[in-house]
């Protein structure tokens, strides 16, 4: 009994340390969000200096439902003529994806299509496309993305700072109103980007790449040898290698794209299990980051621990019940820590709630109704993280998978973007 008691105390202390560490990030993110709630300028963005050539790499496989709208959006990006190229890597599609891409390439000289027969991973397809890229900046978009027309101009503006090696834009849900799950994932993503990543960026901490709406200097990408084709989280892995080289990754709230959220729990579990398994495996590889201390490296290590903390949330729910039903005088130390755990979780929910309220115009206080769902959703995510951990322990083969695309568009802003692209 004593060993179990000590083990529970250690686990709860680890959970609390991680939570306390991230609360200031949330506070800074919320504060900066409130400071920048003024309507963003709709005027033309002008790059300070000569606009660089940008190569946009799009890996596709069986994306016939969505690839057309992405290519329309990409060819209509507001960017100087001759300074943009679109490289589509058809990764062994068996549907009409290849024919759709070829049709667009025949109409728009900016688009080039390359067929890859030996399909494996997204990272391998990206590396294949990199061979043919000519740009100084490499951008990547998933097939279900719909970037806003000014995304490219706004993105390259950040690279006028020579210290910036890579940039992650904001990803918004294009099908937020499809069902309750997609609506919830819209709010989850909004908090993740507009509160959490915003806070990390303001504190000059670790900002990870998300695999789409990301921009990287070509020379730095080639220095690192491109994407790791054996990683399930190639974007996260690339972020860590950039951090290992002490290169700076920025978050850009004003560089936005819209893409589909998983519309079923089956797709969500498949997506998150792949993410979590990839992150756990990366934690084994990049535990050495802390050998050369910097706050950005330390934060990267804390971020890697996040998947383990999510798994620990299973324990946290049992501790919440403990606080309610076990008298305070029994197991005094564990009881005290459990009460502090509940307090820190409530503090996290409080700042997440402020973020939710101020993410919409006018103030969306009704968004706070999603907070209870978010609390239980964290528990659901913890079981997925445990499942991903068991896959590693049981040595299940790695499998790269993605959510099924439906082509559904429900977000009003995304609808307008798509309609504008179709008229052009």
What secondary structure, in 3-state letters, does 399-411 show?
CCCCCCCCCCCCC
Angle at which helices 332-357 and 2-35 pack, to 10 degrees?
20
Q: Do 352 and 29 meet the contact criterion of CB atoms below 8 Å apart?
A: no
Please give the pLDDT value at position 21. 92
What share of the chain has pLDDT > 90, as a percent? 47
Which segment of 268-282, 319-333, 376-390, 395-409 scores lowest on mean pLDDT? 319-333
Please give the pLDDT value at position 38. 56
More confident residue, 45 or 171: 171
Please give the pLDDT value at position 383. 87
Closest CA to 114 of 136, 138, 130, 137: 130
Per-residue b or e along 145-178, where b marks 16 or more CB atoms closer than 10 Å to that residue's CB = bbbbebbbbbbbbbbeeeebbbbbbbbbbbbbeb
Reduced to 3 states, what is the DSSP secondary structure of residue 95?
A: coil
Please give the pLDDT value at position 301. 94
Please give the pLDDT value at position 323. 59
Mean pLDDT to the nearest integer, 348-370: 70
Kindly report, residue by residue over 36-81, the tens digit of the pLDDT.
865 454 444 555 568 899 999 999 999 999 999 999 999 999 999 8
Which segment of 165-169, 227-231, 247-251, 318-322 scores lowest on mean pLDDT? 318-322
Q: Where are the domains of the chain?
A: 2-33+305-393, 50-286
Please state the CATH superfamily assignment of the domain spanning residues 50-286 in this structure: Spore Coat Polysaccharide Biosynthesis Protein SpsA; Chain A (3.90.550.10)
Please give the pLDDT value at position 19. 87
Kindly report, residue by residue over 261-308, the tens digit of the pLDDT.
999 999 999 889 888 998 898 988 898 888 889 999 999 999 999 888
What secondary structure, in 3-state letters, does 133-182 show?
CCCCEEEECCCCCEECCCHHHHHHHHCCCCCEEEEEEEEEECCCCCCHHH
Kindly report, residue by residue over 2-42, the tens digit of the pLDDT.
777 777 778 778 888 888 899 999 999 988 888 886 545 44
């Amino acid at each position: 009994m004593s060993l179990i008691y000590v083990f529970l105390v250690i686990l709860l202390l680890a959970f609390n340390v991680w939570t306390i560490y991230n609360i200031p990030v949330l506070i800074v993110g919320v504060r900066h969000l409130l400071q920048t709630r003024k309507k963003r300028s709709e005027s033309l963005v002008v790059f300070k200096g000569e606009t660089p050539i940008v190569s946009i790499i799009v890996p596709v496989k069986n994306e016939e439902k969505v690839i057309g709208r992405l290519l329309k959006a990409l060819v209509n990006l507001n960017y100087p003529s001759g300074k943009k190229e679109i490289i589509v890597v058809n990764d062994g599609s068996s549907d009409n994806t290849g024919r759709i891409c070829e049709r667009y390439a025949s109409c728009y000289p900016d688009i080039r299509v390359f067929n890859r027969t030996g399909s494996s991973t997204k990272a391998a397809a990206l590396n294949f496309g990199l061979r043919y890229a000519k740009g100084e900046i490499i951008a990547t978009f998933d097939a279900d993305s719909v970037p806003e027309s000014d995304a490219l101009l706004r993105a390259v503006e950040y690279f006028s700072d020579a210290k910036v090696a890579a940039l992650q834009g904001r990803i918004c849900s294009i099908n937020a109103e499809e069902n309750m799950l997609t609506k919830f994932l819209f709010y989850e993503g909004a908090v993740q980007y507009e509160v959490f990543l915003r806070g990390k960026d303001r504190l000059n901490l670790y900002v990870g790449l998300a695999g789409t709406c990301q921009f990287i200097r070509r020379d730095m990408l080639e220095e690192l040898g491109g994407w790791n084709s054996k990683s399930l989280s190639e974007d996260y892995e690339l972020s860590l290698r950039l951090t290992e080289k002490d290169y700076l990754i920025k978050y850009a709230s004003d560089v936005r794209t819209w893409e589909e959220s998983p519309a079923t729990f089956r797709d969500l579990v498949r997506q998150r299990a792949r993410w979590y398994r990839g992150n756990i495996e990366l934690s084994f590889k990049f535990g050495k980051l802390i050998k050369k201390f910097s706050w950005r490296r330390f934060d990267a290590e804390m971020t890697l621990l996040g998947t383990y903390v999510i798994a620990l949330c299973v324990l946290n729910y049992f501790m919440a019940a403990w606080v309610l039903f076990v008298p305070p005088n029994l197991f005094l130390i564990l009881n005290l820590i459990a009460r502090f755990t509940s307090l820190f979780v409530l503090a996290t929910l409080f700042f997440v709630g402020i973020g939710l309220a101020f993410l919409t115009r006018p103030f969306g206080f009704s968004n706070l109704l999603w907070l209870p769902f978010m609390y239980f959703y964290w528990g659901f995510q913890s079981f997925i993280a445990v499942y991903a951990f068991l896959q590693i322990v049981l040595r299940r083969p790695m499998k790269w998978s993605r959510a099924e695309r439906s082509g559904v568009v429900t977000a009003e802003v995304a609808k307008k973007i798509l309609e504008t692209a179709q008229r052009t």
